[in-house]
Structure 1
Amino acid sequence: MPKEVSFLDSVNRYFDMAAPHTGLDAGLLTQIKICNSVYQVHFPVKINGEVKVIEAYRAQHSHHRSPTKGGIRYSNHVSQDEVVALATLMSYKCAIVDVPFGGAKGGVKINPWEYSEKDLENITRRYTTELIKRKFIGPAVDVPAPDYGTGPREMAWIYDTYRAFHPDDINAAGCVTGKPVNQNGVRGRTEATGRGVFYGIREACNQPDLMEKLGLTMGIEGKTMVIQGLGNVGSHTATISQDEGGVKIIGVSEVEGAIYNKEGIDIHALLRHREHHGSILSFPGVQIYGKEKRRAVMEFECDILVPAALENQIDAENAGSVRAKIIAEAANGPVTADGAAILAERGVVVIPDIYLNAGGVTVSYFEWLKNLSHMRFGRLQKRFDERVYTNIVKQIEDTTGKKISQRDKDMITHGADEIDLIRSGLEETMITGFQGVYAMYTNNDGIKDLRTAAFALAISKISSDYIALGIWP
């Protein structure tokens, strides 16, 4: 049986594979690789009349840019190694998509579904207080965001706690992102990671030489997709890919098991069914794989496999059985280093997590900018643009003597709302990010896969900051 490789070990192995292609000094590479700061804390919280001691972490991997940025996850599996690995990936992720943050990550070692809302609020506020005391949070210092087990509710508690400690900080809303829209959040944040995954897959499918290598037609439309995990990222990836990309979803897995239908699964109907019945296994017209066989989803034949759950899902044991042509890493670290080596030998293209799931931090960056500017996107130009477009349409109608239908007129004269601008900015970011990774891949004969190219690109960009800012002696 293969030796189990930790998530952090896999990340560091990927770094070591890419480092020789950068031509950088060994000392500088070491500085980029290591995690700069890790804060471990244990704090007491009263739960049901008893005091429970909670274990928690915050890691700041790199300070080549400020503030540092990264989510906070609530999970029984939280450990220092996991948090450091995730913070490390965040540094590289931000560099690839030109988001000016250093990487960070937080974790609280609890199962959030075992606690009441009031208990979770107490835990979140106490954790935030600990970060404030150690100066591990602030709009110019370190900006958390949602992750596995957390969401807008927890981010609102963090914001409120920070504001209580810093009542005079006019930029306090920028201390955390992923907040509810009515509490200085930004529209489009909830869907951001999944939408970014879609944009990334679509851009990969628009590369003629890559599609020719895989024996696939150009474009994303009509391609078959399998989704592992129907959480926030998986569900939005699936719905957007189906609705906007014309993708056929043929397989889905969740904690209770997996389902398959080669003719396609209506993802909206499936999500409604699971919400109502609590399981995907009773969805009609599909082949069913029970809980003990839910990893069989990795072996379904398809064009695109999207692991959107937790890390280490494809390893040395099952990589040889994967029948997808493209693996799109929507989750962090779903493929181990050993698994990736086997996939590369078999010609499977892996679109790496450090690029593909950067949509979340990209839109978090937009929210942070909104908080610092104290103005929602579109406020200044929306009505002006609508008037200009309306006048153009009127001129065309007057000149031609023909009338445009009201539906077409509304579409043409629509000024950009905040959600339109957020989606446009995210699309531009993901397209440009892929082009950077792909250029590194195609222009360097020694680089054999997209992950190595992505790591090499990230390392090179971070090194430029170290040198330009005088951080490196």
Structure 2
Amino acid sequence: MSNQDNTTYSFFQGVARNFDKAAKFTKFSPGILDQIKACNSILRVKFPVKIGEEIEVFEAYRVQHSHHKLPCKGGIRFSMEVDQDEVMALASLMTYKCAIVNVPFGGAKGGIKIDAKKYSEYELEKITRRYTTELVKKNFIGPGTDVPAPDYGTGAREMSWIVDTYTTLNPNEINAQACVTGKPISQGGVRGRTEATGLGVFFGVREACKKEEDMAALGLSVGIAGKRVIVQGLGNVGYHAANYFQEEGALLVGLIEYEGAIYNANGLDLNAVVAHRKSTGSILDFPGAENIKDSSKGLEYPCDILIPAALESVINGQNAGNIQAQIIGEAANGPLTPEADEILNQKGKLVIPDIYLNAGGVTVSYFEWLKNLSHVRYGRLEKRFSENMYAEILNIIESMTNQKVSKLERKIILRGPDEVDLVYSGLEDTMIGSYQEIHDIWKNTEGVDDLRTAAFICAINKVGESYKELGIFP
């Protein structure tokens, strides 16, 4: 965890602080609010794995923050920064995130305290499978109980190990594939999951940039095209977000990685930078770009949109006053501390909060989970029907007008939706609808002066109503 405001900073307390700020604008009793805020179940395990000729003991966690809806949902990260406070905070954010985008899951999170770079693929597989076994033994994984996903340091490879281990331990479970999402396509994954979080970030920022009143207050024009963007982190989320911004006509002026940052006011070619990093091992010394040796300073360079897509707390009370971007889109979880939030809000910046903006991953994970439970891929039932229907309509129009469309036009018109088209469409609709919901709360609730508070109000209202419907509280 880098650049924290002080050594005692608690990520979970930071989330709770935002929760408490929003709770004042809701109608629920203190008892319901305490239940929503608390982590329901916390698993902390230590397990041995033979690495080479030695036995190593690994520390790992799985936190189920809320059981108001089941299964619980949240990623598994491999990082030396993993501790109980971080996992609790991330699990709570997942609860609020799922509520905001109307995904019927409770929040969860998991992690292994490990430097994955120090281990071979075979060793990582043994560690992951051993961790999965612990989750199964403690009932912290299952299609209707708790469904993990990739997070920092993990991907489809690790999810394939998890689903295989779970299936081996539960041979009669017909829905075993649904025990985890973010899997390879061959093991029940869904097309579009890899880029889902980055695409969701793009959809969310694009929706914010459509609001004329908000853009006028920031001194910006409406739309993405022409806006200067800096992205921190070229991992799965940051790369795809940057790519979609560039495709939409934004100017990618800065890129930040752990080894440093580069900046070019005239714009950078994302794929050329990625190729340069692949060949040299660093984004530094990219032709035509200014080197910034201290990567954290790259956050402070001139731009319109800043996308922190790395780890938490990178913008804090010490550097928030130097941020020049007018729009800060939280692609990572918790990249701003509460102190940073206050400073940026006072300066009139628009902060698009993580509990909304990076919900693309869990939204598409929900689609994958539904696919696994239904045992049929998206598009299989309707693709040919749609194409045949379009063909009939086109034939009628050509007959009535006595005009023929070209082969290219016919191909475009007659194309039925593939799985990835339906996934993208569902994600886009989710991000647009959810932004409008929290924007309405922001603009129509007296005393609410920022999007984050509005997003937490939205989440608290939905989770609170669920608890009331369960009859747990009066």
Counterpart of 2:126 (choices 122, 126, 142) is 122
Give the match's secondary structure for 2:24. helix
Q: Which residue of 2 aligns with 1:271?
A: 274
Alpha-carbon offset, residue 314 of structure 1: 0.4
Gap runs ≥5 in structure 2: none
CA distance in 2 between counterparts of 1:186 and 1:272 reads: 27
Give the match's secondary structure for 1:234. helix
CA distance in 1 between counterparts of 2:5 and 2:201 reads: 31
Alpha-carbon offset, residue 2 of structure 1: 5.3
Q: Which residue of 2 aligns with 1:381?
A: 382
Task: State whether structure 2 residue 231 is matched by structure 1 residue 227.
Answer: yes
Which deviations, in whole Å up to 9, do the C-alpha atoms of 1:330-360 show, x marking residues without a partner? 0000000001000111001100000000000
> What is the 5 A alignment of 1:360-379?
360-379=361-380
TM-score of the aligned structures, taking structure 1 as reference length: 0.98
AA partner of residue 283 (structure 1): F
Which deviations, in whole Å up to 9, do the C-alpha atoms of 1:196-247 show, x marking residues without a partner? 000000000011111111111111121111000100000000001111x211
1:64–1:471 contact (8 Å) kept in structure 2: no
Give the match's secondary structure for 1:432. helix
Identity %: 58
AA partner of residue 275 (structure 2): R
Task: State whether structure 2 residue 89 is matched by structure 1 residue 85.
Answer: yes
Which deviations, in whole Å up to 9, do the C-alpha atoms of 1:53-90 show, x marking residues without a partner? 00000000000000000000000110000000000000
Q: Which residue of 2 aligns with 1:164?
A: 168
The number of residue pairs the alignment matches comes to 470
Task: State whether structure 2 residue 208 is matched by structure 1 residue 204.
Answer: yes
Q: Which residue of 1 aligns with 2:75?
A: 71
AA partner of residue 305 (structure 1): L
Q: Which residue of 2 aligns with 1:8?
A: 12
Give the match's secondary structure for 2:109. strand
CA distance in 2 between counterparts of 1:407 and 1:303 reads: 39
Alpha-carbon offset, residue 30 of structure 1: 0.7
Q: Which residue of 2 aligns with 1:52?
A: 56
TM-score of the aligned structures, taking structure 2 as reference length: 0.98
Deviates more, 1:385-394 or 1:421-430: 385-394
2:5–2:316 contact (8 Å) kept in structure 1: no
1:137–1:143 contact (8 Å) kept in structure 2: yes
Which deviations, in whole Å up to 9, do the C-alpha atoms of 1:89-122 show, x marking residues without a partner? 0000000000000000000000111100010000
CA distance in 2 between counterparts of 1:360 and 1:275 reads: 26
AA partner of residue 7 (structure 1): F
CA distance in 1 between counterparts of 2:409 and 2:256 reads: 40
Which deviations, in whole Å up to 9, do the C-alpha atoms of 1:231-267 show, x marking residues without a partner? 0000000001111x21111000101110011111111
Which deviations, in whole Å up to 9, do the C-alpha atoms of 1:24-48 show, x marking residues without a partner? 1111111111111100000000001
Q: Which residue of 2 aligns with 1:102?
A: 106
Where does structure 1 differ by over 3 angstroms across 4 or more consecutive aligned residues?
Answer: 1-4
CA distance in 2 between counterparts of 1:470 and 1:287 reads: 60
CA distance in 2 between counterparts of 1:422 and 1:36 reads: 32
Give the match's secondary structure for 2:326. strand
Which deviations, in whole Å up to 9, do the C-alpha atoms of 1:139-168 show, x marking residues without a partner? 000000000000001000000000011111
Q: Which residue of 2 aligns with 1:248?
A: 251
Counterpart of 2:27 (choices 9, 23, 27) is 23
- Superposition RMSD in Å: 1.1
Task: State whether structure 2 residue 468 is matched by structure 1 residue 467.
Answer: yes
Alpha-carbon offset, residue 412 of structure 1: 1.1
CA distance in 2 between counterparts of 1:12 and 1:378 reads: 41
AA partner of residue 247 (structure 1): A
Q: Which residue of 2 aligns with 1:457?
A: 458
CA distance in 1 between counterparts of 2:320 and 2:439 reads: 24
CA distance in 2 between counterparts of 1:176 and 1:188 reads: 16
CA distance in 1 between counterparts of 2:352 and 2:458 reads: 14
AA partner of residue 251 (structure 1): G
Q: Which residue of 2 aligns with 1:294?
A: 295
